[in-house]
Amino acid sequence: MGTNDIALDADVIVVGAGMSGLYALKVLRERGFRVVVLERAPGVGGTWYWNRYPGARCDIPSLEYSFGFDPELEQEWEWSEHFASQPEIERYLNHIADRYDLRGDIRLETGVAAMAFDEATDTWVVDTETGEQLRSRFCVMATGGLSAPHRPDWPGLDTFAGEVVQSSLWPEEGVELEGRRIGIVGNGSSGVQAIPELAKVAGHLTVFQRTAAFTWPSQNRPLTPEEQADVKARYREVREAQYASPLATANTTGATIFTVADPDRHILESTPEERENALAEHGFSASRLWGDAAKDLDANEMAVELFREMVRRTVVDPETADSLCPKDYPIGCKRPVLDNGYFETFNRPNVTLVDLRKDPIVEVVPEGVRTERGLQELDVLIFATGFDAVSGALTRIDIRGNDGHLLRDDWADGPRAFMGFSVADYPNMFMIIGPGSVGVLATYPPHIELQVGWIADFLDHLATNGNTHVEVEPEAQDEWCAEVEAASVGSMFRAPTCNSWYNGGNIEGKARVFPIYLGGLDRFMARARDIAANGYPEFDIR
């Protein structure tokens, strides 16, 4: 059978109905493609469906962490806080699904198990976890960079008599927490957000910490009607600023995520008085003021010491304070965390910190978790232990490209892709914000708009020219990977002591690669637009 007379279930199968899948469906449908979206969850929203743990919220200002594609949507939607909570963002994404009539093309509770490229017909054959098989010309992977949950394999975990919950697979019907003995593992963004909220309801909360977190007070507060009206009156300008900036930010509402370092302010040249004044004026953010801390490990260590000093001034018990002080990795290696009363929570009488570096896990038993120093009896054990990030959502699907290439094997030494869009040997497959893109460093909704727009233009180009096959040239992919690598040299993300989800260091046995482009979204998109303007020379198009 030829490439054009095969029966297709869709022109494009989009995998995932989170933010990027919803927007891809809207745009591709408008461009005239028949689209089917396959989604494992029982609801839309992706990350914002699954991560409904207590305290879950975004740490990017709501007025920027939202879509700009429709001025009417921007005007009608009201955000209640600077940093929106998970329920509010989930409502927003459901509103989008309804407002643009997207639900009819989304199949929920239909995860993708396998995909194979059929070279004879230039089509993808997609097998779902529900046993269906669908065929399409193209696949667009809207699978997210932080969507494949990681749970440590602690001995005896299956013997635990209580409830085990993953923060990123939080049940929609909720978890009974009131008055219970709760244990939580993990001190990244998820754990740091959940811990203060859990402490408010738990009979007792035990925090099992492997690595102390760098986290700064979020200063979240309600958005006033005036603040909202001000941004709405100049939303086009705000969006244009976001689309043209390195991180898709426009600093709209004054709710800066972090104190921005002054490149000319050097901690290595500072006096003890200057540092003490910085602590008095900026508190925890005193550690973020210094330009030299971003590149120089000695400077960074001095900034870390300011952070530790704030921990010691906040946490009453000296041993707990010492455990909560980050000691062995620099600021800027991991994703900075924003919190609401995190360190203060450890002063509560119903909260215990177990420092796993001093008191390692022995095993899980029916009653709770046994460490070297004793047994912590628990009713609920929560894992906020992060994700097999960037590549995990893709390698967990059996994706077979040319000549039976299996993506999981091809990426065994780390993900390799061209600008996060395409992978050599996997024709007709596009990724939204895949490995080698700017990734989560740029504010997602506007970032998604740019990426999906580029992919939609490319698919239009192929359709207009009657092309049925597209794949990136391996040389173009190699060159881009080298550029990504070069752009990260000298950054704290790649410090020798840095283990994070960014570089694969959070998962035992995962290859250590930093697959995020640090050159900025503005430069990235300029390059992407050049590629389109030149007729996509990096791609083999037939």
Q: Which residues bind ligand N01 (CB under 6 A)?
A: 58-59, 146, 152, 185-191, 193, 210-211, 335, 356, 384-387, 440, 501, 506
188 versus 401: smaller Cβ distance to ligand N01: 188
Place of tokens 């628990």: 378
Q: In angstroms, what is the minimal distance from the CB of 227 to ligand N01?
A: 20
Cβ contacts of residue 258 below 8 Å, gap of 6+? 216, 285, 288, 336, 338
d(CA 496, CA 14): 38
Q: Pick the closer one to ligand N01 by CB: 286 or 382.
A: 382
CB of 497 to ligand N01, least distance (A): 12
- Which of 129, 516, 74, 84 is closest to 333 using CA atoms? 516
Residue 126 vs 389, nearer CB to ligand N01: 389
Does residue 35 contact residue 11 with C-beta atoms inside 8 Å? yes
Tell me how far, at minimum, the Cβ of 384 lies from ligand N01, in Å: 5
Give SS3 for 149: strand
Nearest approach, Cβ of 499 to ligand N01 (angstroms)? Answer: 6
Please state whether beta strands 123-128 and 133-141 pair in parallel, antiparallel, or not at all (unpaired).
Answer: antiparallel
Token duo for residue 478? 């190699």
Residue 12 CA: distances (Å) to CA of 34, 59, 111, 134, 504: 6, 33, 16, 11, 31
Smallest distance, Å, CB 51 to ligand N01? 6
H or E stretch covering 380: strand 380-383
When CB distances to ligand N01 are compared, the closest residue is 188
- Minimum distance, C-beta of residue 264 to ligand N01, in the bound complex (Å): 29
We find the least distance from the C-beta atom of residue 505 to ligand N01, in angstroms, to be 8
**Cβ proximity to ligand N01, 38 vs 354, nearer residue:** 354
Report the candidate in 421, 426, 422 with the shortest Cα–Cα distance to residue 409: 426
Q: Which is nearer to ligand N01, 3 or 352 (CB)?
A: 352
Q: At what angle do helices 19-30 and 444-464 cross, to 10 degrees?
A: 30
Residue 361 contacts residue 368 (beta carbons within 8 Å): no
- In the bound state with ligand N01, the residue whose beta carbon lies nearer, of 337 and 399, is 337
* Residue whose CB is less far from ligand N01, 155 or 222: 155
CB of 509 to ligand N01, least distance (A): 13
3-state secondary structure (DSSP) of residue 352: strand
> In this complex, which beta carbon is closest to ligand N01, that of residue 383 or of residue 454?
383
Q: Do residues 29 and 105 make contact, with C-beta atoms less than 8 angstroms apart?
A: yes
For residue 376, which of 388, 386, 361, 396 has the smallest C-alpha distance?
361
Tokens found for residue 229 = 């009206």
Query: To which residue do tokens 């009131």 refer?
Result: 178
